[in-house]
Amino acid sequence: MNAYIYENELLLKLEKEGFITPDEKVKELLKELTEIKYLFSLKLLFENFQNNFSSQILINSLKALSDPTQFDYYSKESIIRLELHLRTLVIVLERICFSPIILSKELRDKIYNSLTKFVEIHRKTTQVIEIGIDNNFRSSFNQFNQQKDNNNNDNNIINKRNYNIDFLLVHLRDTLHSLRDDETWFQEILRRTKDILKALLNISPGVLSIVAPGITISNDSSILQMLSQLRQGLTFKYPVASYYVDWRIMLIIQHNVINWSESDKNIISKKFGEMIIMEHLWSYLEREWINIFDKTMLDSQTKFDEVSNKLNKALINTGNFLNDLINGSEPLALPDTLWFGILDLAQNLIQRSTHTATYGLCYYLAIESLNMAPSSFIQFKAIEILLYLNNINNELFSMIEIDFNQYAAKLDKNDSLIKFQNLLIFVKEKCQQDFNLLNGDILLGKGKGKSLEQNTIFKKEEILPSTILDIIANEITCPISNEPTNQLCILKCQHVLSLNNLKKLKQKKCPKCREKVEDNDIRYLPQNAIYKNLYSYLYDAGYILPSIEFEDSSNNLYENDSNNSEVDLMLTKNKKLIKEIKLNSNRFTLIQSIFQITKSKNLTYQEVIKVLEEKKYGKAVLICKKYLGNFPRSYTMRCILAYAYRNLNSYKLAFLYLNEAIKLKRKNPIAYCIRGEIFFKQSIYEYAIFDLNISISYKLKVNNVYILLGNSNLLEGEKSQEKNDYTISCYNHALKNYNIALQNNPNNYLCLKNCAYIYECQEKYLNTLEMLDKLLGINQDDSLFLCYYGEILNDLKRYNESLIIFTKASNLDPENIHILIKQAITYYIIQKYDLALLNLEKVIRMDPLNSIAYYYKGLTYYMMEKYSNAMITLEKFMELDFNDDLANMLFYYLKDLLDDNNFENWNNEILLKINQFSYINSNNLLLLIRCKAYIKLKNYYEANRDLNRLFELNNNISFIYLLQEYSDFWSYLCNYHGINNEESAKFGIIDEFNNYLYNEKKVYLISNLLNSNKKFSKFLENDSDSGNQSSSEKAITFKGEMPSIGFPKLFNNKKLSSHFITWKINIKKILSEECFVKFTIIEGNDNDNSNTLSREHVLKYDDILKLEGIGWIEYTLPFSILTDNNMEWIQPSIDMKNHSIIMQIDYVQFVTSERQTIYATKMGHFLPIHKLYPNIPEAFKDKYFSKKEMENLINLKDIINN
């Protein structure tokens, strides 16, 4: 019985029942195509090239398998069955292609039209997998209606899509289309392919004996040249998809090689055949990888999704599609279809093979494809191959889960990571179903670790090497040089020898077994693509010596093999040398002791370094190319050449040589680093980050790489106009890298100033000050950094300190308008309006067209209640900046203040203007002006609506004091809400304004205590020095002695399930490290004094230190007050250690949710004017973030040292 039956139980049973011939077995199996085990057995029969079938059986099989009516239900198992069904259909069609059969037009069209139904089955089955059976039959589902395009369904379905089926459908379509020629063109191309392959592999007699005793053979491009020849000779009467020509060539090559390796004539061994197929697969994929090498991961996902949708519609609309083909239009194909197909052939080879080296080569093929995958299409196939390998031998391929994790770690943006994780889960589930169903139902036994169609028993000698790379290296290593080679010759005795060493043999005998070598018996095994793509791995593992880096790489490693002892000596010496190098802990030191002349002593090398130091980059390019002519695989010289092109701004050429260098040594970091820096110069920061991270992971020794990476992170974050999660992540990564750089160089100017900016963006102002202190330590007279320091102090509400800094900066640079305006703003905030005006007038004298100076000047006059001056100044501002709507409204507001007699007409007029603004409900100033207008018009209902909206927009309630003077309005609100003044009086609340605040907004001002307890009067202090940050113009300040402050027993608000308590405080100064602030909350009932609850929260020195000097804050206690505990009142209190701190208290407030510490803002005119004018980094962006300063951080020395 043929071994290719794979011990299939059903096929064995058929033989026992008397079905001996392949035709007889097929007839029986076709009767039960709905059962997976019958399908699988049928597929095995057709895959065995030693089985011959009659034309009628092939046609009957084609008709039976192209019948979609067998799929009359949908389930999770359908996805496996559909793929197996289509694979069997593909194999039958391939059998027909390689047979002298011409299909009739009617049969071709019938099969072609059946594809529409298979597409529908695929989509419906996919939907079952994606959204589940329960939700499957929705009335809105109409995937195949040509008039509808449910994009949402497409996007969802693609997450759990078996792309094998998509590929098989496209292959069937294009193969059927190519058969439209009315001639057996396959026979001709098959003959031509055989001839070329025979010549290439030396299967034709005498090819290797052209020049005796030497040998002539094709160069390194032989495979590519052969493929090119075949491509030129393969023509179709009608246009075919662009991928299909190369795909058909590969199928023909595979057909020939498998035929030769499985035939009784033993033309080539199965192992040799597999190596030939693998070389062709690598050659094709190398070309695919080159096409996408400069693109990012998943770069083509969007394009793939679009084409996939179009292709589905094209397959559905068969009639129109056939007409397009007849008219000469090229069929639409999925992006990277050839790439997917090559991987599919690799997967098929895995299932056929028993050779571990083949598995290893497929592993690297899949890993490389995964790492470069442009879309989920290729991701899917690469994952599937890796899972199949793991299932075959989970010990040898135990690293696959690590590979998945490492790949996932690279997907650090948007939703690519989540999509990959979902895809990985789906493919694992799909493969597990493959393994479970097919291993359990079809193969003999339930052997563990068997693949979909594999029950191979591994030979012990095949898995002895410790790594996959060891296994591959052993297969392509010449025993003479003891190194892997790209051109092997297989002798009749099955020993291998490099072509180069075969040429040097004086006597034609095998160096190992001494059997005579006949030219006709030699099989040539080109491994150019495999060798090239695995070179860096083999080099790093010590299999390849770096002889290409030395000028004295002699061609005379041995002279001759005139006698056996000399050959033995040659083999022994080489093996001993390689073994010594591999085992030596410092192998590169050993290598340098073996070879005399290193690259650093090379005269050409020295010359290029000298020329580069003189910055003669054009001349350096010429010398580098001359060097590469002698040493074509020099990694270092490629990097140096790229460095020269970088300095000539020839980035495209720099990329070319860097990509080549990376191909040579994938784990050497400097090429990635240089490429990352060039991406940075091109402002492609995402690519720069990716390459720089790779270079660091490969242990790059460049001091500035972390600075360059930090710069890339920072500017990538700056690309977004809004500070979103991605921006925050970029900032955090930038800080991390800058801090690493600062460990080596604590005074690095670039790192310090960029860290200062990031900390400011994160509102970590104390960290910003720390960075600025270090910068000013480097240059204490830098006026811009002094100004920036003052700006941060303003952010911390430390205005008196910032004025000192602004004054110093202004003295150093008296005509700096930015500093003058910042100083004016600070004077404005602390209500020193005359000084603010002096600065602004100075600015206007220097720059009469400075609109912002007029704006601030107008606001200052407004705060001084000089409304006429304010109007005149704002009118000038509007001449310079007529598009400022807010200033326009403020101007009309001032007009109203001056026109007391006409306030009703004006307020109606301003309401008309304000209501034209679409964004009024999100703008504080417009809402406040409209609210005041409604109050003056006594339209209290509308005024109340605006007031409530203002409360929604602002946690800080200070704005309400701008409306305090309208007592009638507060009386209306108290009546509207049914507030009882007498009830509130016992809490010291004596007016409607405070009554409203307490009952409706749950704010109890500490100033109310003055009405019930006069002992607090002595602590009352004017708060104007603090910029009027308290809710009223006065606050209670405790400078030394502080009595325990117990608030009244306030009611427990039963309307809320729970609430939190917020204190507004200002820690002005710490007097002792023994300080503390204790907040106490007591809950109780009037009728039961024993039933009370008490909770405390204490701020100790370290906690208070963080709050010192930052101004007024709202501090929310970290626990909630429950209202369902039958407690009637809540009594908050606050206490501190006497003479330990200077602290102010403003109010206590009950809020519905826990808050973070909130900085109270200056309300004043209700415009945060200090935020309208940018800080130093924004105002001087070109100077602060100078690209020139950030670039060229990688120098020639860094390249040489790496």
Specify whether 384 is located in the same domain as 277: yes
Cβ neighbours of residue 1051 closer than 8 Å, sequence gap 6 or more: 1128, 1129, 1130
Q: Is residue 1171 part of a domain?
A: no
The confidence score (pLDDT) of residue 1168 equals 42
- Tokens at residue 472, please? 């591959």
The confidence score (pLDDT) of residue 737 equals 93
- Alpha-carbon separation of residue 553 from 499, 539, 597, 603, 793 (angstroms): 18, 17, 9, 16, 67
Of the residues 737, 756, 778, the one at which a domain ends:
778
Section 1107-1114 average pLDDT? 76
Question: Does residue 562 carry a pLDDT above 70?
Answer: no
Q: Is residue 973 part of a domain?
A: no
Cα–Cα distance between 226 and 611 in angstroms, integer? 43
Per-residue pLDDT band at 1145 (split at 50, 70, 90): confident
In this structure, what is the dihedral angle of CA atoms 713, 717, 723, 728, given to the nearest 10 degrees?
-20
Cα–Cα distance between 541 and 523 in angstroms, integer? 28
Give the residue among 1060, 1027, 1063, 1048 at the shortest CA–CA distance from 1143.
1063
Give helix then strand counts, H and E, for the chain.
54, 16
Instruction: Identify which has the larger pLDDT, 604 or 665.
Output: 665
Section 99-107 average pLDDT? 85
Tens digit of pLDDT for each residue in 399-454? 888 888 888 877 765 567 888 888 899 899 888 888 776 665 443 333 334 333 33
Specify whether 472 is located in the same domain as 362: no
Specify whether 685 is located in the same domain as 539: no
Rg (CA), the chain: 41
Average pLDDT, the chain: 77
251 contacts 305 by C-beta, under 8 angstroms: no
- Tokens at residue 61, please? 């099989």
Extract long-range pairs of 641-646: CB within 8 Å, 24+ residues apart.
642/671, 642/674, 642/675, 643/612, 643/674, 643/1194, 643/1196, 643/1199, 644/612, 644/617, 644/620, 645/617, 645/621, 646/674, 646/677, 646/678, 646/681
Tens digit of pLDDT for each residue in 683-704? 999 999 999 999 999 888 887 8
The confidence score (pLDDT) of residue 446 equals 35
Return the number of other C-beta atoms located less than 10 Å from residue 34's C-beta: 12
Specify whether 679 is located in the same domain as 640: no
Per-residue pLDDT band at 924 (split at 50, 70, 90): confident
The domain that holds 1100 is classified in CATH as: 2.60.120
Q: Highest mean pLDDT: which of 343-347, 726-730, 991-995, 1143-1147?
A: 343-347
Cα–Cα distance between 930 and 917 in angstroms, integer? 12
The domain that holds 572 is classified in CATH as: 3.30.40.10
Specify whether 654 is located in the same domain as 673: no
The confidence score (pLDDT) of residue 852 equals 86
Specify whether 304 is located in the same domain as 419: yes
Cα–Cα distance between 157 and 131 in angstroms, integer? 8
Tens digit of pLDDT for each residue in 185-230? 566 667 777 777 766 666 544 444 333 333 344 444 456 566 666 6
371 contacts 407 by C-beta, under 8 angstroms: yes
Of the residues 760, 778, 796, the one at which a domain ends:
778
Question: Does residue 668 carry a pLDDT above 70?
Answer: yes
Residue 994 burial (C-beta neighbours within 10 Å; 0-12, 13-18, 19+): buried
Of the residues 744, 778, 812, the one at which a domain ends:
778
Return the number of other C-beta atoms located less than 10 Å from residue 15's C-beta: 14
Specify whether 159 is located in the same domain as 189: no
User: What's the domain range around 502?
Assistant: 460-594
The domain that holds 653 is classified in CATH as: 1.25.40.10
Cα–Cα distance between 818 and 786 in angstroms, integer? 12
The confidence score (pLDDT) of residue 263 equals 75
Cα–Cα distance between 43 and 51 in angstroms, integer? 12
Question: Does residue 750 carry a pLDDT above 70?
Answer: yes
Question: Does residue 774 carry a pLDDT above 90?
Answer: yes
1035: part of which helix (H) or strand (E)?
strand 1034-1038
Q: How far is Cα of residue 1107 from the mean position of the Cα atoms in its chain?
A: 38
Judging by DSSP bridges, how do beta strands 1113-1116 and 1020-1022 pair with one another? Answer: unpaired
Cα–Cα distance between 810 and 1116 in angstroms, integer? 40
1027 contacts 965 by C-beta, under 8 angstroms: no
162 contacts 322 by C-beta, under 8 angstroms: no
Q: Is residue 217 part of a domain?
A: no
Specify whether 112 is located in the same domain as 192: no
Residue 433 burial (C-beta neighbours within 10 Å; 0-12, 13-18, 19+): middle
Per-residue pLDDT band at 839 (split at 50, 70, 90): very high
The confidence score (pLDDT) of residue 564 equals 46
Cross-strand partners of 10: none
The confidence score (pLDDT) of residue 235 equals 63
Q: Is residue 557 part of a domain?
A: yes
Q: Is residue 904 part of a domain?
A: no
Specify whether 140 is located in the same domain as 40: yes
Specify whether 555 is located in the same domain as 411: no
The confidence score (pLDDT) of residue 1052 equals 60
By residue count, the chain amounts to 1202
Q: Highest mean pLDDT: which of 988-1002, 1021-1035, 1081-1095?
A: 988-1002
Q: Is residue 134 part of a domain?
A: yes
The pair phi, psi for residue 1037, each rounded to 5°, is: -120, 130
How many domains does the chain divide into?
Answer: 6
Cβ neighbours of residue 132 closer than 8 Å, sequence gap 6 or more: none
Section 535-556 average pLDDT? 57
Predicted model pTM:
0.49
Instruction: Identify which has the larger pLDDT, 921 or 584.
Output: 921
Give residue for tokens 């397959």. 315
Per-residue pLDDT band at 1025 (split at 50, 70, 90): very low
Section 329-342 average pLDDT? 82
Cross-strand partners of 1098: 1078
Q: Is residue 784 part of a domain?
A: no
Lowest mean pLDDT among 261-270, 473-482, 545-554: 545-554
Tens digit of pLDDT for each residue in 775-787? 999 999 999 999 9
Torsion sign over Cα 256, 258, 259, 264: positive
Q: Is residue 510 part of a domain?
A: yes
Instruction: Identify which has the larger pLDDT, 244 or 810.
Output: 810
Section 121-126 average pLDDT? 85
**Single-letter amino acid code for the residue at 832:** K
Specify whether 146 is located in the same domain as 229: no
Residue 1197 burial (C-beta neighbours within 10 Å; 0-12, 13-18, 19+): exposed
Specify whether 653 is located in the same domain as 712: no
1070 contacts 1141 by C-beta, under 8 angstroms: yes
**Single-letter amino acid code for the residue at 333:** A
Cβ neighbours of residue 666 closer than 8 Å, sequence gap 6 or more: 536, 537
Cross-strand partners of 1061: 1150
